[in-house]
Structure 1
Amino acid sequence: MIDRTSSDDLVSLASGMQVGAVVVLERDPGGVEALLADRVRAVPRLRRRLIRAPFGCGRPVWVDDAGFDISRHVHRVVCPAPGDDAALLGIASSLVTRPLPRSSPLWSATLVTGLAEGRAALILVFHHVLSDGIGGLAVLANLVDGAPDVGTTPFPAPAPSRRQLAEDAWAARFGLPGRASFSGLRWPSSGSRCSLNHPTGPQRRQTMARTSVSRLHAAAHRCGGTVNDALLTAVTGALGTVLNGRGDHVDELVVSIPVSARRSTTATHLGNSTSVMPVALPTGGDTRSRLTRIAAITRSHKKSATSVAPIFRTLKFLGIADWFMNHQHVVHTVVTNVHGPDHPICLGGAQVVGLIPLSATTGNVTVAFAALSYGDAFTVTVVADPEHVPDLLVLTEALQTELDLLD
């Protein structure tokens, strides 16, 4: 079977976005390179590279990398003193913003030693075309201890011939339904102009705030909402506080919420299956009333989430996609939330004591938020362009305050 990119994959490929996670370990597990060399066999995409198909032969395809070498993907660094969260996130930020070479499988793993309390961390980075958030969890599930043995499969498999690619492309053209419509997409009108939108540079800085799933669930339940609604309440409240401090008085912000079209996936079915839900949300009012309003708003919008691929393809065809991404005033920020493992996991015999999501911003969105749960722990990463968000620490403190108010 030919492994092709999807329409959503093409959007990710064009944006160059990279995502990942920091797997915090109780200790250095040792032998990480050998461990990953064995376990990547369960995830075909981790040993495949992306190639363009010949003219008339359809979208790019994933093919086995005949020269696959695990040492090109697994690295080791020592965290600078004092080995705290800030130092670890500094390393993670530099890795997730460093473009992965397109000539190889699009991922990297970096073991970080020298952390406080004798801990270590494995920083996993994926190009977004390789996997979305739920797909990333499927990858992690196959790398940790207790993953099922996949046995031995022939590697590398021969790449499909030009004839096979052409036949597959023609079959796909005649087998697909009609062109996607934009009619189901409820884009808000142009959002309030504020300092959150500015063309971003290459640098990113990440900070984080923490709370518990049980706290968010209880607060959301009282207001008829979900854990994600509680997260959005904290984010909008924190942004409202920071914007007021900047002299930007904004009553509502448009938040782009990625919505996965699947609840789960497997390591053999990765790629992107993500729709977007741009929603105008309030920034003011007390925490409980704002949560109640946000829960009602998101309920009314969930059926309107749609893929951005048709829109992006049109913009690319017109030659204005990059201009639009750098000048749009529809979306102020992006908030993602992925439900992680419910039970403790181990890697190479070392217990995983924390999971930290890694995200990125593109276009003129200067700050974004990514959340990931692990057991009852709930970690929110704030990623920003430091040139345009010099008050990132103030924003992070405001976010922590808002999360603490959710009780």
Structure 2
Amino acid sequence: MERFSGQDASFLYMETPSVHMHTLKIAVIDLPAKIPYADVFDLVRVSMESKLHLVPRLRLRPVEVPGGLHHPMWVKDPNFNIGRHLYRAKIAEPGGHREMDQAIAEIASTQLPRDRPLWETWLLEGLADGGVVLVTKIHHSLADGVASATMLGEVMNVERNHDDLDARNPTWVPEPLPSRRTLIKDAFRDQREQLGAIGPLMRRTVKGSVNVLKNMKHRATAVPYPFVTPRTVFNRTLSPRRSFASTSLPLAEFKAVKRAANVTLNDVVLATVAGALDQFFDARAEHLSRPLIASVPMAVPSSDDAPRTAGNRVANLFTSLCNDISDPLERLQKIHAVTSQSKEIQQQLGMDTLLDWSEAAPAGLYRWILGAFSQSGLSDIMPPAANLIISNVRGPDHPLYVAGARLRAIYSVGPAIEGIGLNITGWSYCGDLSFALIADADAIPDPHLITDALRGALDELQQATGITP
């Protein structure tokens, strides 16, 4: 039994009937000519069951503390049955990419139940080319992007012929759910330990803030501030329904622009998304009052920097997409300058300062603040902290296999949150940078208008940097 970290718990607290805090991990798989089971669904079940011991948290369920006295606990699920986590559905005819995306959107539109471990996997059949799709829904409280990438490496194989379906696994020993008395007693004990951290954390926060103010006059580039954002169609109170779109582009083209412009790969991703969103707003005849602000999740290293398959260690960097600059190269360079300055401010404040505050803050107050905002409807009145979320995660550069079947493509995306109804994630795999987009379906019924525009936006960047597409 272990307690949720403050940041892990925050993703539970933010959830409402219309704010779904799960992430999606999608694998498009080429089935071999023969599989060792009569039904591919049985193959998925046996394969996943053989790997569960490698990611222990997949068998832990949340247990709330009475009265919300502290963050919930992760407890071994005494009723764990993998059959409660596996589902299957059929992709509508003719079984193309758009039909696949629509099936994924429907899966994304429902929440995970909390009476079991916070994940489920869907097998989607019916692709016209004979492939299948595995869609895994993982609650954000269970893992962030870095942990998910490590998790993927644990449960997939790097060799086609590696077969561990019949391997003997450690015996699973569940535990009874803790009593009300135990939960309350442990909550008071842990709260006392938390209170002792507030003094040193306050001093460290003040010191970091002073460093930021001291260096303000030396900044060559102004940085954006949260809530100083334009209002767009996707910055509103969320509906329960989600729309989804995906596409893949050659990673080498992004790297070529990166080298030619002497910027980072993340800068190129941001500029490409900015160009695609320009086309989206032009098609809507919508004029932005100021440049879009993106929230960019950044991994916060731990003290031991050991690989982890669970938990969250994320800081959010705010940067401008510089939509007020029409020239693609000039915009890319400005995005690089702004993002570099924002990273410097994060380092001056301390990358782990906000993480530590999420640990030190009283759980009841933390829960109330996050939950109250998610349910308040203020998103229809006040500007959002950021307009959208953009992530870029480095995935494996070698093929992965499950039970001898090769993963053709991998997509991943985090949730849309209250007031920020658009999340775009790039995930690299085997020479491709695959983009997945999740949006509030009432705001953006067809997000392919954005993913289809990524190709043209990247072409413009290549031309602007002297590269022939």
TM-score calculated relative to the size of structure 1: 0.89
Q: Quick check: 1:389 aligned with 2:407?
A: no
Deviations 1:271-321 (A, max 9, x none): 111111122231132222211111111111113346487599669349752
> Quick one: distance in 1 between partners of 2:368 and 2:282?
36
Match of 2:252 in 1: 214
Match of 1:288 in 2: 329
* CA displacement at 1:174 relative to structure 2: 3.3
Deviations 1:343-370 (A, max 9, x none): 1110111011110123331212232211
Mean CA deviation greater in 358-367 or 292-301: 358-367
* CA displacement at 1:95 relative to structure 2: 1.4
Mean CA deviation greater in 124-133 or 51-60: 51-60
Extract unaligned runs of 5+ from structure 2.
16-20, 213-222, 463-469
Q: Quick check: 1:260 aligned with 2:299?
A: yes
Match of 1:152 in 2: 170
Match of 2:229 in 1: 191
> Quick one: distance in 2 between partners of 1:358 and 1:318?
22
* CA displacement at 1:172 relative to structure 2: 4.2
Match of 1:240 in 2: 278
Task: Give the number of equivalent residue pairs.
Answer: 405
Report if aligned partners of 1:142, 1:267 keep a CA contact under 8 Å in 2.
no
Match of 1:360 in 2: 415
Report if aligned partners of 2:250, 2:433 keep a CA contact under 8 Å in 1.
yes
Match of 1:104 in 2: 116
Report if aligned partners of 2:237, 2:418 keep a CA contact under 8 Å in 1.
yes
The change in CA–CA distance for 1:357 and 1:61 in structure 2 (over 3 A counts) is same
Match of 2:466 in 1: none
Mean CA deviation greater in 124-133 or 304-313: 304-313
> Quick one: distance in 2 between partners of 1:302 and 1:266?
23
Amino acid at match of 1:171: E
The change in CA–CA distance for 1:200 and 1:318 in structure 2 (over 3 A counts) is closer
Q: Quick check: 1:86 aligned with 2:124?
A: no
Amino acid at match of 1:261: V
Amino acid at match of 1:96: A
The change in CA–CA distance for 1:249 and 1:120 in structure 2 (over 3 A counts) is same
Match of 2:12 in 1: 13
The change in CA–CA distance for 1:76 and 1:256 in structure 2 (over 3 A counts) is same
> Quick one: distance in 2 between partners of 1:119 and 1:239?
31
The change in CA–CA distance for 1:328 and 1:274 in structure 2 (over 3 A counts) is farther
* CA displacement at 1:188 relative to structure 2: 4.1
Match of 1:371 in 2: 426
Match of 1:230 in 2: 268
3-state SS of paired residue (1:292): helix
> Quick one: distance in 2 between partners of 1:187 and 1:159?
44
> Quick one: distance in 2 between partners of 1:391 and 1:59?
38
Report if aligned partners of 2:89, 2:122 keep a CA contact under 8 Å in 1.
yes
> Quick one: distance in 1 between partners of 2:311 and 2:132?
29
Amino acid at match of 1:27: L
TM-score calculated relative to the size of structure 2: 0.78
* CA displacement at 1:79 relative to structure 2: 1.9
Query: Where do residues 126-145 of structure 1 align in structure 2 (5 Å cutoff)?
Result: 126-145=138-157
The change in CA–CA distance for 1:391 and 1:285 in structure 2 (over 3 A counts) is same
Q: Which of 298, 316, 337 is residue 368 of structure 2 equivalent to?
A: 316
Deviations 1:81-128 (A, max 9, x none): 122111111121111221110010000011122212211111111011
Report if aligned partners of 2:247, 2:436 keep a CA contact under 8 Å in 1.
yes
The change in CA–CA distance for 1:224 and 1:136 in structure 2 (over 3 A counts) is same
* CA displacement at 1:341 relative to structure 2: 0.9
> Quick one: distance in 1 between partners of 2:448 and 2:50?
40
Q: Which of 311, 314, 330 is residue 274 of structure 1 equivalent to?
A: 314
* CA displacement at 1:374 relative to structure 2: 0.4
Match of 2:26 in 1: 22
Q: Which of 183, 187, 196 is residue 174 of structure 1 equivalent to?
A: 196
Q: Rg: which structure is higher?
A: 2
Amino acid at match of 1:260: A
* CA displacement at 1:396 relative to structure 2: 2.7
Report if aligned partners of 1:79, 1:115 keep a CA contact under 8 Å in 2.
yes
Deviations 1:14-64 (A, max 9, x none): 223110211111117631111111211111110010011245863211000
* CA displacement at 1:200 relative to structure 2: 2.1
The change in CA–CA distance for 1:230 and 1:152 in structure 2 (over 3 A counts) is same
Match of 2:345 in 1: 304
Mean CA deviation greater in 163-172 or 238-247: 163-172
Match of 2:218 in 1: none
> Quick one: distance in 2 between partners of 1:11 and 1:245?
37
Q: Which of 314, 338, 356 is residue 393 of structure 2 equivalent to?
A: 338
Extract unaligned runs of 5+ from structure 1.
none
The change in CA–CA distance for 1:94 and 1:319 in structure 2 (over 3 A counts) is closer
3-state SS of paired residue (2:235): coil
Report if aligned partners of 2:243, 2:444 keep a CA contact under 8 Å in 1.
no
The change in CA–CA distance for 1:52 and 1:320 in structure 2 (over 3 A counts) is closer
Report if aligned partners of 1:47, 1:64 keep a CA contact under 8 Å in 2.
yes
> Quick one: distance in 2 between partners of 1:150 and 1:136?
25
